[in-house]
Amino acid sequence: MEKVQIKEAKGKLGVLVIGVGGAVATTFIAGTLIVRKGLGIPVGSITQLATIRLGKREENRFPKIKDVVPLADLKDIVFGGWDIFEEDTYTAARNAEVLTVEDLDKVKDELQAIKPMKAVFDQNYVKRLHGTWVKEAPTKWDLKEAVRKDIQEFRAKNNLDRVVCIWCGSTETFLKAGEIHETLPAFQQALKTNHEDIAPSMIYAYACLEEGVSYIAGAPNLTVDTPALWNYAIEQKTPISGKDFKTGQTMLKTVLSPMLKTRMLGLEGWFSTNILGNRDGEVLDDPGSFKTKEESKLSVIDNILQPELYPELYGNIYHKVRINYYPPRKDNKEGWDNIDIFGWLGYPMQLKVDFLCRDSILAAPLCLDLCLFSDLAQRAGMSGIQSWLSFYFKSPIHDREHIAEHDLFIQYTKLKNTLRQIIGEETIDYLD
Ligand SMILES: NC(=O)c1ccc[n+]([C@@H]2O[C@H](COP(=O)([O-])OP(=O)(O)OC[C@H]3O[C@@H](n4cnc5c(N)ncnc54)[C@H](O)[C@@H]3O)[C@@H](O)[C@H]2O)c1
């Protein structure tokens, strides 16, 4: 297998976080800083903990991914970002109440030094938030220029070699791709005329692509998932990935659904409900933002179970997803699933799942992996949609020629085979 030419990971890697004062962002940043000081274990991170089998089974080679894949070192990461509130990252992390004060104090100075840049924000796209630290400009095109300037200054001030950007901001209201998202000229014109179907996330994303900064979409917003930006990312030799981190309930769905299908067990209904009390829960209490999330959460079961191929097993599934804002739980979400299945001769059975999880604790390692893998992809000359990173997302971006893959283990195989390919090792088909 020919080794891909990879630009060395030398110098500093800038990580720009949109929504840098949020629960996920602050947990990701504080955790990464704690880990790099050797004061915590990066549980949940593939880049930091997972091994990869190389060669034939009898060779018994299982190195850690980070020992054979040229990823950026955590010590070289410099964080920055934008938020609609002015607090520094330490104060924001205290308010998010995910990590303990004892943990946050281990990296207090570093966190206090990360001060958000003014955001691109419009309440029409996130109804429940009232931003106070927001850029003003006559057009969306001008806002995009202001974001570009922020990126350039961040790069220069920190003497960065490379930059990646990750959206950890709130879920925006539901938007469908239309004519203005079809081609780059139409998209640019829409920015100049303040078209209502250009959401703030698209302004950041376009600015990133113009700057050759890889964009990772952690929320289900439309953002880069349009033909205009898929193609522009290729033109700019810049990787894009998304959408919507796959962390809790949907991760379980993409494990349990393949289990039912491989055993040819039937499914009649799947009812998922959540209680969640953080700011994300409050934002998702608005019907517009919830619709964006609902679309993202609903797509996985049909894709995996292929009802068109198995009408007798999956032709009539009732699938419902609910998210309830319930402040006492804060970030400690509880997700219940009631799954009505059937077996031999159609006899009914039930499966119940109660996942008492911590939303940001699950999301933080995904943020780290996605930043490191996106940087790797860019250094390896990979651009446009990174389908090998589907593993991390509820609604993997795909163009019109491809279908999304949702099965967690197929996604994982693809991720590892892509890494093998990047480092010039044989891909594994498990027949050996
Ligand atoms: N935690 C998970 O498991 C998980 C999984 C999938 C997706 N997500 C998504 O990740 C995002 C972050 O989740 P969270 O729990 O940290 O929410 P949060 O509300 O704590 O954080 C979001 C942050 O984004 C900021 N923000 C909103 N609009 C902005 C804009 N236009 N520019 C800059 N900043 C902006 C908010 O002020 C806030 O600080 C949400 O969209 C959520 O749906 C989270």
Question: 184-192 vs 140-157: helix axis angle to the nearest 10?
Answer: 100
Q: What is the pLDDT of residue 186?
A: 98
Q: Whose CA is nearest to atom 32 of ligand 1?
A: 119
Q: pLDDT tens for residues 197-248?
A: 999 999 999 999 999 999 999 999 999 999 999 999 999 999 999 999 999 8
293 CA distance to ligand 1 centroid (A)? 12
264 CA distance to ligand 1 centroid (A)? 38
Q: Whose CA is nearest to atom 2 of ligand 1?
A: 359
The HSE-up count of residue 201 (CA atoms within 13 Å, CB side) is 31
Q: Are 17 and 25 in contact (CB under 8 A)?
A: yes
Ligand 1 closest atom vs CA 81: 33
The pLDDT confidence band at residue 1, using thresholds 50, 70 and 90, is: low
Ligand 1 closest atom vs CA 25: 16
The pLDDT confidence band at residue 57, using thresholds 50, 70 and 90, is: confident
Question: 249-262 vs 287-305: helix axis angle to the nearest 10?
Answer: 20
Q: Whose CA is nearest to atom 37 of ligand 1?
A: 84
What are phi and psi for residue 179, nearest 5 degrees? Answer: -60, -35
- Whole-angstrom distance, CA of residue 218 vs CA of residue 429: 30
177 CA distance to ligand 1 centroid (A)? 22
- Whole-angstrom distance, CA of residue 280 vs CA of residue 377: 30
Q: Which residues of 185-204 are buried (b: 16+ CB within 10 A; e: fewer)?
A: eebbebbeeebebbbbbbbb
Which residues, judged by CB distance below 6 Å to any ligand atom, belong to the binding site of ligand 1? 18-19, 21-25, 82-85, 96, 119-121, 126, 129, 168-171, 200, 218-219, 244-245, 247-248, 278-280, 283, 359-360, 362-363
Ligand 1 closest atom vs CA 279: 19
Average pLDDT over residues 387-408: 93
Q: What is the pLDDT of residue 47?
A: 98
Lowest-pLDDT choice from 71-75, 280-284, 306-310, 313-317: 280-284
- Whole-angstrom distance, CA of residue 333 vs CA of residue 21: 19
Q: What is the pLDDT of residue 280?
A: 82
Helices (H), 236-384: 249-262, 279-284, 287-305, 311-314, 359-379
375 CA distance to ligand 1 centroid (A)? 22
Q: pLDDT tens for residues 333-344?
A: 899 999 999 999
The answer on pLDDT for 295 being more than 90 is no
Element (H, E) at 385: strand 384-385
280 CA distance to ligand 1 centroid (A)? 6
Ligand 1 closest atom vs CA 331: 15
The answer on pLDDT for 272 being more than 90 is yes
Q: Are 333 and 357 in contact (CB under 8 A)?
A: yes
Q: Whose CA is nearest to atom 12 of ligand 1?
A: 168
- Whole-angstrom distance, CA of residue 306 vs CA of residue 115: 47
Q: Are 19 and 33 in contact (CB under 8 A)?
A: no
Q: What does the block give as tokens for 111?
A: 């966190």
242 CA distance to ligand 1 centroid (A)? 14
Radius of gyration of the chain measured on its C-alpha atoms: 21
Q: What does the block give as tokens for 355?
A: 């996942």
Q: Are 80 and 114 in contact (CB under 8 A)?
A: yes
The answer on pLDDT for 284 being more than 90 is no
The answer on pLDDT for 432 being more than 70 is no
By most ligand atoms within 8 Å of CB, the mutation choice from 94, 136, 144, 168 for ligand 1 is 168
Domain covering 12-245+361-422 in this structure, CATH number: 3.40.50.720
The HSE-up count of residue 353 (CA atoms within 13 Å, CB side) is 19
Ligand 1 closest atom vs CA 21: 39
Task: Give Cα 348 distance to the centre of its chain.
Answer: 36
Q: Which CATH number fits domain 249-356: 3.30.360.10, 3.90.1150.10, 3.40.50.1820, 3.40.640.10?
A: 3.30.360.10
Give strand pairing partners of 214: 164
By most ligand atoms within 8 Å of CB, the mutation choice from 170, 215, 357 for ligand 1 is 170
386 CA distance to ligand 1 centroid (A)? 22
State the chain's mean pLDDT as an integer: 94
Ligand 1 closest atom vs CA 85: 37
Q: pLDDT tens for residues 143-189?
A: 999 999 999 999 999 999 999 999 999 999 999 999 999 999 999 99
The pLDDT confidence band at residue 431, using thresholds 50, 70 and 90, is: low
Q: Are 50 and 114 in contact (CB under 8 A)?
A: no
Say if residue 415 is exposed, middle or buried (CB neighbours under 10 Å; 0-12, 13-18, 19+): buried
Ligand 1 closest atom vs CA 200: 31
Say if residue 146 is exposed, middle or buried (CB neighbours under 10 Å; 0-12, 13-18, 19+): middle
Q: Are 190 and 227 in contact (CB under 8 A)?
A: no
163 CA distance to ligand 1 centroid (A)? 20
Q: What does the block give as tokens for 127?
A: 């109804």
Q: Are 404 and 390 in contact (CB under 8 A)?
A: yes
Q: What is the pLDDT of residue 263?
A: 97
Q: What is the pLDDT of residue 222?
A: 95
Name, in order, each residue with C-beta under 8 angstroms of 150's C-beta and a sequence gap of 6 or more: 82, 117
Kindly tell me the sign of the dihedral angle through the C-alpha atoms of 390, 392, 395, 399.
negative
Domain ranges of the chain: 12-245+361-422, 249-356
80 CA distance to ligand 1 centroid (A)? 15
**The pTM is what?**
0.96
The answer on pLDDT for 2 being more than 70 is no
Q: What is the pLDDT of residue 78?
A: 98
Q: pLDDT tens for residues 97-149?
A: 999 999 999 999 999 999 999 999 999 999 888 999 999 999 999 999 999 99
- Whole-angstrom distance, CA of residue 381 vs CA of residue 237: 7
Say if residue 113 is exposed, middle or buried (CB neighbours under 10 Å; 0-12, 13-18, 19+): exposed
The percent of residues above 70 in pLDDT, for the chain, comes to: 99
Pairing of strands 12-18, 160-167: parallel
268 CA distance to ligand 1 centroid (A)? 33
Residue corresponding to tokens 């004061």: 39
130 CA distance to ligand 1 centroid (A)? 14
The percent of residues above 90 in pLDDT, for the chain, comes to: 85
Which of 67-71, 291-295, 424-428 is predicted most confidently?
67-71
55 CA distance to ligand 1 centroid (A)? 41
How many CB atoms are located within 10 Å of the residue 243 CB? 24
More confident call, 350 vs 281: 350
